[in-house]
Amino acid sequence: MSNILIIAPHPDDEILGCGAVMRKHVLEGDDVYVIIMTNAHVGDPELYKEEVVASVRSEALEAHELLGVKKTIFFDFPAPALDQFPKYKMSAKVSATISEYNIQTVYIPWRGDIHIDHKVVYDISLVACRPVGDYSVTRILAYETLSETEWCSPFGSEAFIPNVFVSVTFDEFTSKIDAMKCYKSQLRDFPASRSIESLISLSKLRGSTINKQRAEAFMLIRNIVV
């Protein structure tokens, strides 16, 4: 059994990026933890009302319960202005969570995403996962987030180029779709990229890359063999 942590800048990023893999981990007996890094009301109270944030967090808890997440942790860092907040404070909170739950594998958003919050979370997560002292994290993977990753800058250093493909069963992928449907406030109609149809299309594309029906794809950032 392993302890798995998914770090999401905003509610729904975790499902978009690795919802099926989360379910696979749970079915394999792993404990899955999720950090939602931000509170948009703190960042922009005029644009994001407190009751809206509470509603989205309720959607997150419903989605996570469906997948079998062991614990959901909500931080209150200011979206959409993470680049204006001291990064060391965010890294310290993530690091403390990693230590508390003895996390071995961490999934983080890709650094090339168009949303600046995703870039910041990538950076502070790597700081929190440094292999120094009595560290526990031995594997870090970056996930792709539809409506953020595919709009990255057209440069090689920003592009999401997956090198880890995880085949998922139909039931595992269906659990991802059911979890995403819990996020009624975040779903859009096709052809929006944050739609059920787009998630299905991406899973087929990633699956066909490895001659499987469905898959989720990642970039391996670090893998320590001990």
Q: How confident is the model at residue 226 (pLDDT cuts 50, 70, 90)?
A: confident
- Which helix (H) or strand (E) is 143 found in, with range? strand 139-143
Write the pLDDT tens digit of every residue in 4-43: 999 999 999 999 999 999 999 999 999 999 999 999 999 9
Asked whether the predicted pLDDT for residue 167 surpasses 90, the reply is yes
Q: What is the pTM of this model?
A: 0.97
Mean pLDDT across the chain: 97
Number of structural domains (the chain) is: 1
- The parent domain of residue 80 ranges over 3-223
What CATH number is attached to the domain comprising 149? 3.40.50.10320
Helix (H, G, I), strand (E, B) or coil at 223: strand
Rounded to an integer, the average pLDDT of 100-121 is 97
- b/e sequence 40-64, b meaning 16+ C-beta within 10 Å: bbbbeeeebeeeebeebeebbbebb
How far is residue 57 CA from its own chain's centroid?
Answer: 15
Burial (CB < 10 A; 0-12, 13-18, 19+), residue 166, is buried
Write the pLDDT tens digit of every residue in 176-186: 999 999 999 99
